[in-house]
Structure 1
């Protein structure tokens, strides 16, 4: 990169990240549609399939989102019968979010999602893992002043 093109759009990390995010969400859309899930809803289900119950705050932290962003997703998934919210025993202020039997059954169908998305992206498993790891390392980096 020369100093004359340092501000070129194609040289910007932010532009590459935004377009990559949009592209991957577009790859997931047709794969998730038969499951009745949007990409954000899929992420909620993934987190809860890993561990449930979780409070809204715990779930939001796992997803690196604000609770106010996760709450409507949880409500829609509950309306679909995939989740249930219950008061935590011993702490009535906390709502625990858990996967229902229907939500657990959906997990079996979701096992096909990663391979289908990988096929849609044209990446090999090794390329996808390297990209994921680089993005995770980047996402965990603290900007310097």
Structure 2
């Protein structure tokens, strides 16, 4: 859940930042489509522990450095101190535990069994899905 929250906030923050820059006459970034595809592939392959492509320079850099820069760029657009605190917590968890793909790889490394990955996903999914029991509607007899 915190990964999703952080992704949504990053997209919003970067969009707000880009629109503000454009309003101030700064040019919008225009990375080449092949650079975007390469950066996407690299991120999917290596996650946060690997290298990422800086779309402004075209150079490889540690993904964690790139993520820090992304965070610093988007953070200015967050609206309330509560948003910033919540996102800072999510960001810290992401940096400490890695993303979902890295956590799945870690589950696989324990015994090199794909069933361990499935068990991990089941555990994570069901731990968050706490069933809610609906409250019965009040009846005339209750009053």
TM-score when scaled to structure 1? 0.32
| Structure exhibiting the larger radius of gyration computed from Cα positions | 2
TM-score when scaled to structure 2? 0.32
Choose between structure 1 and 2: higher strand proportion.
Answer: 1
